[in-house]
């Protein structure tokens, strides 16, 4: 589990989100409300879907390659045209796969496989405390295999 998780605010404008993604070289983040409670997830894909950019997303780069950090130039291609009235809460995905900090690794892996997702947000009392990614699970598997040699 990665404990240092960057979160976006549900009330941020899309321009603020774009700056946030660029500054941190990430393609998405959990979304929290003003109290810090997890309310969704947002990605560069969500921003693109909110715009009328069918030629960009239809079979385009961002539609298929959001499982890795994006380069600065790639993120700069995100055209935020929603203006100051459209906020992260308008474009985020409100359904979040989440788990408690004490969830066994195999249960987290089962959830990821069943949901066909690459990450699960770890919460305690509704607050984000970490994130488990597919890469985290691969590392854990590698460590177990090394121990059993």
Give yes or no for residue 130 having a pLDDT over 90.
yes
- Reported as half-sphere exposure (CB side, CA atoms, 13 A), residue 132 has a value of 26
- The string of pLDDT tens digits covering residues 69-84 is 555 555 555 544 445 5
Side by side, which strands form the sheet with 98-100?
A: 98-100, 119-124, 127-133
| DSSP SS3 for 2 | strand
The CA distances from residue 121 to 7, 31, 60, 91, 108, in Å, are 11, 10, 27, 18, 10
Top CATH class, 8-147: alpha beta
More confident residue, 114 or 62: 114
CB atoms within 10 A of CB 24: 12
What residue ranges do the domains of the chain occupy? 8-147
Sheet containing strand 8-9, edge to edge, reads 8-9, 28-32, 38-43
Q: How much is the pLDDT for 62? A: 40
| pLDDT of the residue at 66 | 46
| pLDDT over 70 at 138, yes or no | yes
Q: Give the chain's mean pLDDT.
A: 82
Q: Tell me the per-residue pLDDT of 18-67, one tens digit each, with 9 for 90 and over.
A: 999 999 998 889 999 999 999 999 988 888 888 754 444 443 434 444 44
């Amino acid at each position: 589990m990665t404990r240092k998780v960057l979160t976006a605010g549900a009330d941020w404008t899309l321009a603020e989100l774009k700056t946030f993604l660029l500054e941190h070289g990430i393609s998405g983040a959990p979304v929290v409300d003003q109290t810090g409670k997890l309310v969704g997830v947002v990605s560069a894909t969500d921003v693109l879907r909110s715009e009328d950019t069918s030629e960009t997303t239809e079979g385009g780069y961002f539609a298929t390659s959001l499982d890795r950090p994006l380069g600065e130039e790639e993120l700069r291609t995100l055209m935020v045209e929603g203006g100051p009235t459209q906020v992260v809460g308008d474009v985020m995905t409100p359904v979040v796969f989440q788990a408690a900090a004490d969830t066994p690794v195999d249960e987290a892996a089962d959830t990821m496989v069943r949901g066909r997702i690459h990450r699960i947000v770890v919460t305690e009392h509704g607050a984000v405390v970490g994130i488990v990614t597919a890469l985290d699970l691969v590392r854990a598997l590698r460590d177990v295999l090394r121990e059993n040699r």
